[in-house]
Amino acid sequence: MNSKKNAFYAQSGGVTAVINASACGVIETAAKSKKINKVLCGENGILGALNENLIDTSKESKTTIAKLKNTPGGAFGSCRFKLQDPVKQKKEYERLFEVFAAHDINYFFYNGGGDSQDTTYKVSEMAKKLKFPLQCIGIPKTVDNDLPFTDCSPGFGSVAKYVATSTLEAGLDVKSMAATSTKVFILEVMGRHAGWIAAASCLASSNSEDPPHIILLPEVPFEKNKFLTQVKQTVRKNGFCVVVASEGTQMKNGKFLADSGLTDAFGHKQLGGVAPVLSGMISKLGLKNHWAVADYLQRSARHIASKTDLDQAYAVGEFAVKLATSGKTAVMPIIKRISDAPYKWKIDTVSLKKVANVEKTVPKKFISKNGFKITSAGRKYLSPLIQGEAQTNFNLGIPDVAFLKKDLLKKKLKKFN
């Protein structure tokens, strides 16, 4: 009888340019383990477990698995789905453990942000209650960089590199046309309550007159008159102005400038559209302006990923397996900074109980007094995270990415409603 047990891995929430590197870290490390038989991936996140749609990664070639490091998006499918409160509704949890038992799963790896770590913690608590042998490890991932305890979140360094590069390049474009055309350019980036992505755009500048001239963060209440005065002064001084705005830019009363009125599966307000709102304000000043929304482009740009970010994403996946097979549960690997220059880091751990539903925002010491710039302390923190160019292999001029067979295991249970 095979003493090795299977592992379940799933991706959750918004994906990143390097989340598949974490998957690669899990699968390749598990293949070397004496305790893990197969890694079974949930098709479309935790829904894959509930629906018993389990992808057998042992059917994929080693070459394809290695190529995951070069592939953006969520290779196994992700989801925004929140498990119900286990105290009020046990049905979903009972189903999970029914599936785990049917497929000999004793290891649970959930790759996601704050809500996902909350899920991993709840699953670990339920395993304890049911006396089910399940090692639950959360694997950090979020472009928002808002997970606590970890120096940075895998996925952030690459989106930061993309946004800083785009700010530099678009800034040069606007500067060259400003004498007779566009005077103001607005780039809208992700970030609901934490402005880390917008803050990273500061890395595009080498002196105070370089773009971005104005950075709007959720941490700084938006004041319309103050903002428009800054835009006018910047155009007067430099001839043009580049604004980078977090989608979560909000007023003093906490109302988002771009509240769509809708909410997602986790109960978060759906945002998007702060750039056209700002554009409307600027147009009334008589200044020609253009705007762009980075949206999915910023989080899927593997071709310009940070090597630091890629290395860290793989490392947390690798370490997660080592934690689980050594008997640890209800923990998450984190990145611990050892030094700034040269940038050195190592992998440590934190209890999932501490991580769940806690958001890390941009600290005051990283924000200038007028609220529109990032301080030298902020740049010192951000700069190492975008360093290094992650190798991208090309085929006929297009990135060469992994295409999986996604062979599903034969179902053993009745359909779950």
Beta strands in 21-102 (DSSP E): 36-42, 54-56
Are 196 and 362 within 8 A, CB to CB? yes
First and final C-alpha spacing in the chain = 34
Q: Which class for 206: exposed (0-12), middle (13-18), buried (19 or more C-beta within 10 A)?
A: exposed
What DSSP state is assigned to residue 317? Answer: H
Give the chain's length: 417
List of residues 6+ apart from 112 with CB closer than 8 A: 11, 12, 13, 45, 78, 119, 138, 139, 141, 142
Q: Catalytic residue among 144, 146, 151, 309, which? A: 144
Query: Within 13 Å of residue 57, how many CA atoms lie on the same side as its CB?
Result: 31
Q: What are the residues whose beta carbons fall under 8 Å from the beta carbon of 36, sequence distance 6 or more?
A: 4, 5, 6, 7, 30, 107, 321, 325
Alpha-carbon distance of 260 to 19, in angstroms, equals 28
378/385 Cα distance (integer angstroms)? 12
407 given a catalytic annotation:
no
CA angle 299, 304, 306 (to 5 degrees): 85
CA-closest candidate to residue 252, choices 275, 225, 282, 271: 225
Contact (CB, 8 A) for 352 and 332: yes
Show which residues are catalytic: 144
